[in-house]
Structure 1
């Protein structure tokens, strides 16, 4: 088949618009003063609420979300497509419970409360878990985008992935958070417009039947024996939505905690609404006559379930319409680069680094992470399985750690390290079918045919949470009551007693300080705090 010229032209225009918007947004920073680390990570905490809602929504409604939803509906049914519902509840929970405390304390990244409560060792461990999630999230988005382009435009998959990654890395390096925020608006516009235009074409196509004919297939079913795994997945997808730097980077980029809560709740509602076209497309794939298409057979029949959405758009919509459904992976690589620059390089490796040096470190980190994610998407054949496992690790490991760091003063580094290890062992011990990882822990009700029926994800998370609190209690008793000599306190929890995170706001943040007196009071109180 020849290259789809019309689709290629639309693609080039799309990338030009995205790149220009990213560069113009970056120049906007230049007109407001010298770029700083705070401007690159949290956009000087001055993202307007409307822009924040758009970028929060776009962070969720990306290629993996819309492609994955269509795939899940076509393969397992709507009842097992839990990501949209989980993300909806998760973002609202994040806004109500976590967004306010994070923004009130003026943190720069998600890792700051870990540094405040636990110190360097735990920060490094948490970063590794978060990096795992971000890299495979990025790779899955690139893979979804690349397969869509390769099918619709008929270009080489490698070319599609490398081009998409290159454009995204370029404008993210130039403008960091401000560029990502404004390009998210453009990308969300294209995604929404494309899906709204595609659905009528799909439903009115002569080769797509009535959805009621295959409702039993695309609705799916929930049997008594599958209720436990269903609940486990829903809980994991709900609360696993919260502990991501991409989420908190937006929460920390607005002016007040109230705005952070608003964009979280609104973003969750928007993500649930915008998933409807993907559900319809997934359902339509089950009733389409694939024998008359250029593919000749259903994607499910040839083990290409991940390409359900691209093939439906390719076969049943005009080329110039289908190519509009686009997304990118800028949020995840920006998040990981921000945490590396601020929490690893600045706080651990070079505490005296200048803002100029840190900005260059962040740019290089964006480039490196973009290259790694691109290579993963090209050469790792089980990206979906790795992403599922990464999401589980975020839920099992990061959620209890973040909760303890924010809300439980008894928690300390010893509890955090032990909880980290317990969570990893209990989760990996359950195995992972997508990776052919055999279980070495056989939970109750395990069977060779159905695998782990016990809600092992939730169990592992709760065990990690309890371990953090229990070990922390005994560590505090031993070291802070001097039952053990101080030289045995290798993680230094006795030295961290009374330690508080103390950001230094720039002079340009005066308007924000006057709008948030609590931030000002906190800054005064913590002036004499001692860092680790």
Structure 2
């Protein structure tokens, strides 16, 4: 296949347009720097984001390249189908649940990041531990969507995917470095518009292509492969429910989401933006589902793609760009390419800003350099952006492997962070001991359940565990079971430790985490260091004076 020059020109124009908008928003933001705290402006936009802008940026953040490509792929797969397209449903439920339960307690207290309440409640050491799954999740998510873009451009433009990955990463890095949250938010607006119009413009052309049967017929009848509507076998019901709950609740404890919530001008506007974005996720999945259905209904021998089919060639993950390239006219496939590029960049910049915000504010400022100046923190935030962007671009070259690693990191966020966030917001008096126990419980149980991405077989074979195509599959909802065990462990250990200290069953001077400081105890509390990190022996003199 020869180089697709028109599509290449269109991609270059889109890159330039996105960069121009990012630079413009950065210049616009500079005017507010003298009036606002630079850190607050970069991370939460000085909490002045309008509801409409919040709606656009929240929706664009979730509608990434992996989202629209993955939805089409699952719909197309013979063993998948619409019944297994769970991400749109999961994200919709997650954003709705977050709007109802999580927005108010976070936004009303004016936190700067998602990590703030955890750091306040459980201390700096636990904040450092909890930062790790969040960082890994953001970097792997960034890498996965860059890999998605590289694969798309290799199909439509016939260029090396590495080049597309590098160019996209550099452009995202430049405007995020310059403008922080507002650069990300304003570029999200143009990117979401590209996604909407680009994808929907391609849908009619793909549907009417003569090489394809009507998708209404192939939904329930077998033509070129299994019906694309799919089905959920009884044995797989537990796994299906596990994935839905994981995608719903596991999509909440991410800084990329709470960054939008905390930047809203009011709690009400944050709730509305989150709720509307939930339904926008479903709407934006429809074109991808249709593309997957068309691919499953196509006689590829009637196209220039030929046989064997994309599934037989192992190219099911590229089914969306393949449909655009071989079932749509050239000028239409260009619009689709613009939509995919836009989807990738709208999520990539959010992941980059999320990871660097947590590191600069919660790790560097609050742990490593408590007396650091505002200028120094901003410098460290930009330095971390470069480091994280470079790491993500490097991982993107792994292609298929990076998707598996991202799924693993997402499951770790679900098992380790979601219970912690629930406890700190809704269950009073949970403490650092419970937090540590929960972290260890969630981590160990998840790893013992097997890690296919790292070729680690399961140590714990839950009911229904079986070997499918050389890979162990847990049919029991073990991801949700792991999360619930971590949650229960945090509550039980927290209250048990508090009971033991209050009743002097365990000496109060063993409280190395200072969880009983300023609590009503049956015995006098010892004096502690301000940071709560060193033990102090009980003084006999001070006890006598207290008496």
After TM superposition, the score normalised by the length of structure 1 is: 0.91
- Note if contact 2:147-2:399 (Cα within 8 Å) is conserved in structure 1: no
Within 5 Å, give how 1:200-219 maps onto structure 2.
200-216=204-220, 217-219=227-229
Query: Max radius of gyration: which structure?
Result: 2
Task: Give how far 1:435 is off.
Answer: 4.1
CA distance in 1 between partners of 2:158 and 2:70 (Å): 21
Q: What does residue 322 of structure 1 align with?
A: 336
Q: What does residue 266 of structure 1 align with?
A: 276
Residue of structure 1 aligned with 2:485, choices 452, 456, 463: 463
Q: Render the CA deviation track for 1:249-280: whole Å, top value 9, x for unaligned.
A: 00000111111111110111111111100000
Residue of structure 1 aligned with 2:240, choices 223, 230, 240: 230
Task: Give how far 1:360 is off.
Answer: 0.9
- Note if contact 2:33-2:41 (Cα within 8 Å) is conserved in structure 1: no
- Note if contact 1:71-1:306 (Cα within 8 Å) is conserved in structure 2: yes
CA distance in 2 between partners of 1:369 and 1:434 (Å): 21
Task: Give how far 1:481 is off.
Answer: 4.8
- Note if contact 1:254-1:260 (Cα within 8 Å) is conserved in structure 2: yes
CA distance in 1 between partners of 2:304 and 2:394 (Å): 30
Task: Give how far 1:214 is off.
Answer: 2.4
- Note if contact 1:382-1:435 (Cα within 8 Å) is conserved in structure 2: no
Cα pair distance change 1:302/1:471, threshold 3 Å: same
- Note if contact 1:84-1:275 (Cα within 8 Å) is conserved in structure 2: yes
Q: What does residue 29 of structure 1 align with?
A: 29
- Structure 2 stretches lacking a partner, 5+ long: 221-226, 521-529, 533-547
CA distance in 2 between partners of 1:380 and 1:55 (Å): 27
Within 5 Å, give how 1:39-118 maps onto structure 2.
39-75=41-77, 76-118=80-122
Q: Render the CA deviation track for 1:304-343: whole Å, top value 9, x for unaligned.
A: 2211111111112224223221221010111010000000
Task: Give how far 1:491 is off.
Answer: 2.4
1:125 aligns with 2:147: no
Task: Give how far 1:482 is off.
Answer: 4.5
CA distance in 2 between partners of 1:380 and 1:254 (Å): 36
Q: What does residue 224 of structure 2 align with?
A: none
Q: Render the CA deviation track for 1:402-435: whole Å, top value 9, x for unaligned.
A: 0001111221111111111111111121113354
Q: Render the CA deviation track for 1:273-310: whole Å, top value 9, x for unaligned.
A: 11100000011111112224343232211112211111
Q: What does residue 411 of structure 1 align with?
A: 430
Residue of structure 2 aligned with 1:313, choices 315, 324, 343: 324
Residue of structure 2 aligned with 1:176, choices 163, 175, 180: 180
Q: What does residue 340 of structure 1 align with?
A: 359
Q: Render the CA deviation track for 1:337-375: whole Å, top value 9, x for unaligned.
A: 000000000000011111111111111111110000111
CA distance in 2 between partners of 1:150 and 1:490 (Å): 56
Within 5 Å, give how 1:244-393 maps onto structure 2.
244-296=254-306, 297-317=308-328, 318=330, 319-325=333-339, 326=341, 327=343, 328=345, 329-379=348-398, 381-393=400-412
Task: Give how far 1:380 is off.
Answer: 5.8
Task: Give how far 1:232 is off.
Answer: 1.0
CA distance in 2 between partners of 1:434 and 1:118 (Å): 31
Q: For structure 1, which segment, 212-221 or 159-168, has the greater mean C-alpha deviation from structure 2 after superposition?
A: 212-221
Task: Give how far 1:65 is off.
Answer: 0.6
How many residue pairs get matched? 501
Q: For structure 1, which segment, 388-397 or 36-45, has the greater mean C-alpha deviation from structure 2 after superposition?
A: 388-397
Task: Give how far 1:205 is off.
Answer: 1.6
Q: What does residue 522 of structure 1 align with?
A: none
CA distance in 1 between partners of 2:244 and 2:519 (Å): 37
1:491 aligns with 2:513: yes
Within 5 Å, give how 1:405-444 maps onto structure 2.
405-444=424-463
Q: What does residue 402 of structure 1 align with?
A: 421
**DSSP-derived class of the 1:448 partner:** strand
Task: Give how far 1:244 is off.
Answer: 0.5
- Note if contact 1:77-1:220 (Cα within 8 Å) is conserved in structure 2: yes
CA distance in 2 between partners of 1:131 and 1:214 (Å): 42
Q: Render the CA deviation track for 1:153-184: whole Å, top value 9, x for unaligned.
A: 11111001011111001110111101000101
**DSSP-derived class of the 2:112 partner:** coil
- Note if contact 1:152-1:322 (Cα within 8 Å) is conserved in structure 2: no
CA distance in 1 between partners of 2:519 and 2:456 (Å): 42
Task: Give how far 1:241 is off.
Answer: 1.0
Task: Give how far 1:123 is off.
Answer: 0.6
CA distance in 2 between partners of 1:253 and 1:124 (Å): 23
CA distance in 2 between partners of 1:448 and 1:289 (Å): 32
Task: Give how far 1:445 is off.
Answer: 2.8
- Note if contact 1:172-1:334 (Cα within 8 Å) is conserved in structure 2: yes
CA distance in 2 between partners of 1:267 and 1:531 (Å): 41
CA distance in 1 between partners of 2:57 and 2:478 (Å): 33
- Structure 1 stretches lacking a partner, 5+ long: 499-529
Q: Kindly report the root-mean-square deviation, in angstroms, between the aligned alpha carbons of the 2 structures.
A: 1.7
- Note if contact 1:385-1:434 (Cα within 8 Å) is conserved in structure 2: yes
After TM superposition, the score normalised by the length of structure 2 is: 0.89
Within 5 Å, give how 1:127-142 maps onto structure 2.
127-142=131-146
Task: Give how far 1:211 is off.
Answer: 0.8
- Note if contact 1:54-1:188 (Cα within 8 Å) is conserved in structure 2: yes
**DSSP-derived class of the 1:445 partner:** coil
CA distance in 1 between partners of 2:399 and 2:367 (Å): 32
Q: Render the CA deviation track for 1:62-107: whole Å, top value 9, x for unaligned.
A: 1011001001111111111111001001100001100111000100
Q: For structure 1, which segment, 476-485 or 84-93, has the greater mean C-alpha deviation from structure 2 after superposition?
A: 476-485
